[in-house]
Amino acid sequence: MRNKVIAGNWKMNNDLNGTVNLISELKKGVNDQTKATVIVCPPFTSLETAQTLLKDSLIKFGAQNMYFEESGAFTGEISPSMLKSVGCEYVILGHSERRTIFGETDQIINKKIKTAIKHNLKPIFCIGETLEEREKGITFEVCERQVRFGLEGLTEAELSTMIIAYEPVWAIGTGKTATNEQAQEVHAFIRKLVAKLLSENFAQNLVIQYGGSVKPENAKELLAQPDIDGALVGGACLKADSFLKIIDAA
Ligand code: 13P
């Protein structure tokens, strides 16, 4: 049985004040009755504060990105050991906004996944097709390429902490959610592909989250699909009330 994992990707939102407010509200709603694993991913500048605030909480936290080098002349970048030093457990890698706005390729993302794992950071590896790719009928092809390249050179044991997040780009921040059937179809495809690349046992234990306009109104049905094991939430995670409703739905 795979446990549901609900993660909030804050993106470029919340200064320190906003971080204190949002985490304080979330802490009131997440307790030992909460069945899902809950993760928040604030911006870099809030991670140390998150660590302090979440010390005695069940809520876990991670970063939204990371560079693949250990240290050196990489102006503006953050290394895996920097993330470890503020207590990060997870790191989102390969988000479509990183791919499209910041030009991250499958090869760069593969290097990042390798480095994260080497430093005991759990990758939340994002994949997903654009609207153009869906309309061309190449959704599976695109997802397969992203998964194959992303996981290249990594063993089952190394990938044991990885989560995959399927986020159709056309559903991100648009209010347009994939239908339950559309999401389930791709999730099942990813699980089959991973079984082929690694093993059936690994694939059965792999957590595959859905992301793209998840909100309290659609969370329950999406999360009831057999291959949807959680959600990576953007907009709706910025308000404690709606994020907690999604956690409840899980
Ligand atoms: P929205 O929930 O705002 O569509 O964002 C999804 C996302 O990109 C999470 O990583």
pLDDT given at position 43: 98
The DSSP string of 166-178 is E--GGGSSSS-PP
CA angle 86, 92, 216 (to 5 degrees): 105
Query: Which residue's C-alpha comes closest to atom 5 of ligand 1?
Result: 234
pLDDT given at position 175: 86
Contact 167, 139 (CB under 8 A): no
172-225, pLDDT tens digit by residue? 999 888 999 999 999 999 999 999 999 999 999 999 999 999 999 999 999 999
The answer to whether the pTM exceeds 0.95 is yes
Provide the CATH number for the domain around residue 237: 3.20.20.70
Beta carbons within 8 Å of 243's beta carbon, 6+ residues apart: 6, 8, 26, 233, 236, 237
1 pLDDT more than 80? no
pLDDT given at position 176: 87
Helical ranges in the chain per DSSP H: 16-29, 47-53, 80-85, 96-101, 106-118, 131-135, 139-151, 180-197, 200-205, 216-223, 240-249
154-182, pLDDT tens digit by residue? 999 999 999 999 999 999 999 888 999 99
Residues marked as catalytic: 95, 167
Residue 155 carries which DSSP code?
A: -
Please list every protein residue whose CB sits less than 6 Å from any atom of ligand 1.
Answer: 9, 95, 167, 172-173, 211-214, 232-236
75 pLDDT more than 80? yes
Tell which atom from ligand 1 comes closest to the C-alpha of 172.
4
pLDDT given at position 126: 98
Tell which atom from ligand 1 comes closest to the C-alpha of 126.
10
Residue 198 CA: distances (Å) to CA of 110, 191, 203, 209, 213: 16, 10, 8, 19, 30
| Half-sphere exposure (Cβ direction) of 122: Cα atoms closer than 13 Å | 19
Query: Which residue's C-alpha comes closest to atom 9 of ligand 1?
Result: 234
107-123, pLDDT tens digit by residue? 999 999 999 999 999 99
The span from the CA of 153 to the CA of 149, in Å, is: 9
CA angle 145, 166, 96 (to 5 degrees): 75
SS3 163: strand
> Domain containing 201: what range?
5-249
Cross-strand pairs, 127: 166
26-64, pLDDT tens digit by residue? 999 999 999 999 999 999 999 999 999 999 999 999 999
pLDDT given at position 42: 98
Ligand 1 pocket mutation, candidates 209, 214, 239, 243, criterion most atoms within 8 A of CB: 214
Q: How many domains does the chain have?
A: 1
Other CB atoms closer than 10 Å to residue 48's CB: what's the count?
A: 15
Residue 203 CA: distances (Å) to CA of 17, 67, 107, 196, 207: 40, 27, 22, 9, 8
Contact 171, 139 (CB under 8 A): no
Cross-strand pairs, 10: none
Where does residue 41 fall: left (phi above 0), alpha (psi -120 to 50 degrees), or beta otherwise? beta
